[in-house]
């Protein structure tokens, strides 16, 4: 292997063991570069109460009742209420498909 090939060789003041350690570290770094990177997480789009009500074609009061019943999950950001667009559309399609 490589250790046998470099035994007794001195390269610019580096002995065989140090060279092998550096080579192994370089090989690991190159392998890490070649590995596929995980896919980025999709952006989360947040909608206001008014936007959700317009999409679902319901009143703000109905939207409030659905939130209280757990049909939709509101997210509080500071003093504002927002809904995850993907969750709203998923729930809308579930209800629409059940009809």
Interaxial angle between packed helices 85-98 and 49-56, expressed in degrees from 0 to 180 and rounded to the nearest 10: 30
1 — pLDDT class (breaks 50, 70, 90): very low
In whole angstroms, what is the distance from residue 34 CA to residue 20 CA? Answer: 21
* Contact partners, residue 61, CB within 8 Å, separation at least 6: none
pLDDT over threshold 70, residue 98: no
In total, the chain counts a number of residues equal to 99
What mean pLDDT is predicted for residues 23-37? 82
pLDDT of residue 85: 92
């Amino acid at each position: 292997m490589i250790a046998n090939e470099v035994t007794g060789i001195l390269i610019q003041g580096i002995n065989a063991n140090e060279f092998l350690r550096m080579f192994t570290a370089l090989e690991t770094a190159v392998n890490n570069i070649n590995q596929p990177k995980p896919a980025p997480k999709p952006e989360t789009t947040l909608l206001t109460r008014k936007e959700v009500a317009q999409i679902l074609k319901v009143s703000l009061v109905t939207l409030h009742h659905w939130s209280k019943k757990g049909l939709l999950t509101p997210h509080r950001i500071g003093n504002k209420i927002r809904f995850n667009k993907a969750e709203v559309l998923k729930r809308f399609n579930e209800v629409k498909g059940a009809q």
